[in-house]
Structure 1
């Protein structure tokens, strides 16, 4: 059985631990083992992010850029969900479904470099990896609200309060492990030209600039009008309707507020101080900083 977490929250039916990292039941141990042999194609585009950091937002941007550049006619909802997932109502895991997808594939993952396929952790040739990062306070609050939404789908009876979830998040004992270990694992690749790092807060501040940056990284030539059109289509209000109606239940409950600074609605002063202190300890000297406003 999975180990007990903070406040002895019983999550045994809903999470499990593999090599020290807790995962939801949709990420089976067999799926994680299969990552070692997952074949990467030379034109794959990977979006890697800790949960609730902007994965689906970036997917929308990437698919619209590829479409505008004549590289694909698929929409974001045509793409297979997270690489490591398999929902109960699906006969095959996503890593198997992806083998049948036409190129270029857009692959999503919440895995760390240590658990992702070697071809993603150490990309070669033309493989592109976009890492999206979001400040930890907003990530935690968004994650908590997301879990509240999906608890009705899972039938989970015991669900942590915000205070309990905060302690789980701080200790790295919730699904997909420690936030800081996750982002810093990818951040170590920042000098590798196969990687592009973007922050959620910067995307909110100047979305056209972010679209232009992603298009250049993907080597898709777009004029300014196309970039503005894509940016407008990828604003929160424009995206919410398509996400709400997604065939993937995780995407269907994703859109909530999509703002920077929503952490203030949940964090106590003490919790804010604790996470500020953790940020200083974990991020000092890494060159990685976040905006919280």
Structure 2
């Protein structure tokens, strides 16, 4: 455990934002999951809140909860938001079931019940192509760090020196769980292409027996545009404005040829032969 030159926390070799503390990350070692926990795992800016909205509406339709996606925001496991009196992991201890837990942690740092679940936990791993992730992440941070430039951010992101560490290390560490029935793997690009099929897939994974009309209704409300309206109306400041364009291929408006070639080289080196690939447009 250490800090970078700006005083930000580095834990297990990963840089974290100010809303994540060393004490919270240490608490992950003893955080207890429940059999009916639903966990959404992702690298940041990969569709976390979009997936949360889908899961929430499925649970509502199945009669399992009356909670909204805003209510589930306390479930952002490793964070302590200023709007809340305690860190999320503490608030979750008394949260009613089923809990929907969100995390950007890797298996190395996540609670044992998420990394190696032994009960009936359901874990949804959401992934998005790294070029669009980088652009979305840059826009998110440029609002907070006025000195930030795209060339510097792009370089640091590719090198794994930005917040949440290496995209490639993150997705590959969870991809090792692909044969574990506790896990389902989802892609942002698939959600953009056919939201109805993805809602149906998620409902089946969550053992929610919903008819076709209900699935269609959830899909219509959970298009990116619908989800963005929900986020923009959130009672939490960190959720408002979080959704930007929600398109596949926005990276083309930002990447230079040199940056694109550098990304492609790392992509090939890290993912070749893993069975994990992404669509970029």
TM-score by length of 1: 0.93
Q: Measure how far apart 1:91 and its partner are.
A: 2.2
Q: Measure how far apart 1:87 and its partner are.
A: 2.0
Partners of 2:258 and 2:65 lie apart in 1 by 48
The verdict on how the C-alpha distance between 1:2 and 1:125 changes in structure 2, with shifts beyond 3 A counting, is closer
Is 1:40 matched with 2:33?
A: yes
Deviations 1:201-247 (A, max 9, x none): 01110100000000000000011111110001001111212101212
Q: Measure how far apart 1:256 and its partner are.
A: 0.5
Alignment of 1:42-191 (within 5 A): 42-79=35-72, 80-149=74-143, 151=144, 156=145, 159-191=147-179
Alignment partner, residue 270 of structure 1: 258
SS of the residue corresponding to residue 250 of structure 1 reads coil
SS of the residue corresponding to residue 252 of structure 1 reads coil
Partners of 1:291 and 1:23 lie apart in 2 by 28
TM-score by length of 2: 0.97
- The number of residue pairs the alignment matches comes to 279
Alignment partner, residue 225 of structure 1: 213
Q: 2:181 aligns with which of 187, 193, 196?
A: 193
Q: Measure how far apart 1:251 and its partner are.
A: 1.4
Partners of 1:231 and 1:126 lie apart in 2 by 26
Which runs of 5 or more residues in structure 1 are unaligned? 5-10
SS of the residue corresponding to residue 239 of structure 2 reads helix
Deviations 1:68-108 (A, max 9, x none): 01111111011114100002343210000011111000000
RMSD between superposed Cα atoms in Å? 1.2
Partners of 2:4 and 2:90 lie apart in 1 by 30
Q: Measure how far apart 1:115 and its partner are.
A: 0.5
Which runs of 5 or more residues in structure 2 are unaligned? none
Query: Following superposition, which runs of at least 4 residues in structure 1 exceed 6 angstroms of deviation?
Result: none
Alignment partner, residue 268 of structure 2: 280
